[in-house]
Structure formats: structure tokens, C-alpha cells
Structure 1
Amino acid sequence: MASLNESMIAYGKLIKETELQEAYKGLMQFMKELRTHLKENHPDYNVSANLYPGYLDLTFFSFTTELTKAKDLKYMVVFIHEKTEFQVWLSGRNRKVMSAYHEKFKSYPMGDYRLTSDETGMSAVIESALVEDPDFDQLTELTQQIEKGIKRFKEVIENDFLNSD
């Protein structure tokens, strides 16, 4: 493993020689606009005011609905940097909540969704890919793809998983 100094030299080189900085700025702008779009177009979504930029690992924001908030759950709209993939997650207020729902959902058919591993540091209970190969040259279409996937995920979670509580 490289030392911090060696890593910083490599980092500076990437900034100078690649489009890394421009790509990161563009991603942050898109995520902010996506968050605003969902907030303005879905009054039933209580969209968080914050965008977590991450450490070039993941970038996300969250939202709740009346049902998820009442159950200490939330949705997370996530960009996974290494995969360049958008996902939506069902998460919880804390580890205890997530672990309880993980246990409950073990017997549920997951279909296109993935039940995560119940382990220390888990960030989600259920995950789903939204867009696996996003086209950042078509931002309107990308926003629509993500929005449609979020809506479908929310409906399945709330109708098939949470309404049986």
C-alpha cells in the first residue's frame, strides 16, 4: 500500500492529466439538480437538504415518505463511483432499525432487489440498481430513468414489504 505522500502525488497527477475534476464537478451538479427535481415534483417525498459528496466512493441524498418515516426508514439515492452506477437503497435511522428489518425481510422474495448482508457498518437493508450505464450527455433522460426506478422501488417496498407490518 502506498504512503499518503505517494497517494497525494498520484492524486495530483490524476487531477492534472485527466478529466477527474471536471467529472466530479459535473456529478455533484447533477446530483444537486436531481435532488431538487425530486423535491419539487414529488411533494410526498420529504427530500433531505443535504447531499453527501463522499470520498470518491459513493455520493447520495435521502428522502422519506410518511410510511418510511413512521418506521424509522428512509430511501437513499446513491451513485457508486467505482461502478458508475445509480442505485436506490432502503435504509434505516440506525443500525438497530436496519438489522431488525433485515431479519424481517429475509423470508421475502426479493425479485430484482438485493437484501444486503446484516453486518456492522451496513448502509442499506435492500438495494436496487437504477441505471447501470448512465449517459451523462443526456441528463433529462437520465433524470427520468432514475425517477422512474425510484418510483417503482418505493411502490414495491411500501406495498409489498412495509404494508405487512
Structure 2
Amino acid sequence: MSEKGLNSLIPAYKKTFASGEIQKTYQSLVSIVQNLRTDFSKIFENQYTVANVLHGYIDVTYFYLQNDYLKDRKLKFAIVFNHQQAHFELWLLGQTKNVQVSNWKKLKGSKWVTGEVMPKYSIFEIVLLPSPDFENYKKLSKNIHTAFDSVSKEIFKTLEK
């Protein structure tokens, strides 16, 4: 938290919620993620098990995907809507911190693991759709599915090495 006390932050918090726009926007974005989850369940029905939508704090909304290959390696994908950036990401996650660290080291130097510091919650995070068009759900859904399909295949090739 910032150096300010919580009481001094409350007026700005109340002001943000006053118009109702933030609640409406948040609910609409979560609904989009829920619809994407349903689409992923249908499109990748024979390839992945798709978990329910989860909410991070106020910062992310996501769902997991896993297949036998990932499960055997204690890994899973997450399709993540990053609320602060207002874009979609693909995260590769480990079942435990040790699994994440081990895979981060293994993938270091790949196109996805280029930094010196591992992300806090994942092995890596890739922006799937940097500028989503929220007005055209069909196009948005198709773009995310296409990007996921392409990137996940690349990730599997790299993991298999």
C-alpha cells in the first residue's frame, strides 16, 4: 500500500465509485472473460480442460486451461484479462513455486523469458491481444483464440526441447 494511510485514500476511492461507471465497466469486462471461457470450452473441447473464471483482486480476471501434457509437468495456462492495461495475456503457471522457478530457469533465454526476474505469479506472461476491440465481441474472441492457438503451439515446441 502507499505511504498514505487508508483513511486518506477513501475519498478518492468513493469518488471513483460514485458515477457507477467503474462497476458497469468491470462487470462488462468480466462478462467478456466469462464468454471467452465458454468459447474456449467449445473450441478446444478435445484439447484442454477449461476451469471456471476466477477474479484476482481488482487487477486480473482469468481462467485456466490444462491438457495432459501440461498436467504431467504440473503446468497450466491462464487466459488473463489485465484490468490496469485493459488487454489480454497468456500466462504459463506452475502448480508450485518450485515448479515455476524450475521452468523459468529452463525457459530462460527463450522469447518469453528474457528478463532477469521471474514474474510474481507465473513463469512468463505474454500479451495476446494488446488493443482489444470491446465493441466487436466476435472479432475479439476470434483474435484471442487464434493468438492462443498459435502461441501455445510454439510454447509446446519449446517445452519439448
Q: TM-score higher than 0.5 here?
A: yes
Q: Is residue 107–residue 113 contact of structure 2 (8 Å, CA) maintained in 1?
A: no
- Kept in 2, the 8 Å contact 1:99–1:118? The answer is no
Alignment of 1:46-65 (within 5 A): 46-49=49-52, 51-65=53-67
Match of 2:122?
A: 124
Helix, strand or coil at the partner of 2:132: coil
Distance 1:107 1:138 in 2: 36
Letter in 2 for 1:162: L
Letter in 2 for 1:152: S
Distance in 2 between the 1:85 and 1:115 partners? Answer: 21
Q: Give the 3 Å change call, closer, same or farther, for CA 91–117 of structure 1 in structure 2.
A: farther
Q: Counterparts of 1:1-165 in structure 2 under 5 Å?
A: 1-17=3-19, 19-43=21-45, 44-49=47-52, 51-108=53-110, 110=111, 113-115=112-114, 117-119=116-118, 122-159=120-157, 161-164=158-161
Q: Aligned partners of 1:55, 1:67: CA distance in 2, in Å?
A: 30
- C-alpha separation between the residues in 2 aligned to 1:29 and 1:8? 27
Question: Partner letter of residue 160 of structure 2?
Answer: N
Percent identity, please.
Answer: 26
| Root mean square deviation, CA, Å | 1.8
Q: What 5-or-longer segments of structure 1 have no aligned partner? A: none
Q: TM (normalized to structure 1)?
A: 0.87
Structure 2 contact 104–113 (Cα < 8 Å) conserved: no
State the SS of the aligned residue for 2:54.
coil
* TM-score after normalising by structure 2: 0.89
Q: Distance in 2 between matches of 1:107 and 1:5?
A: 45
**1:58 offset after TM fit, Å?**
1.5
Question: For residue 5 of structure 2, what is the amino acid of its counterpart?
Answer: S
Q: Which runs of 5+ in 2 are unaligned?
A: none
Which amino acid in structure 2 is aligned with residue 128 of structure 1? I
Instruction: Tell me the secondary structure at the aligned position of residue 77 of structure 2.
Output: strand
Aligned length: 158
Q: Distance in 1 between matches of 2:124 and 2:155?
A: 9
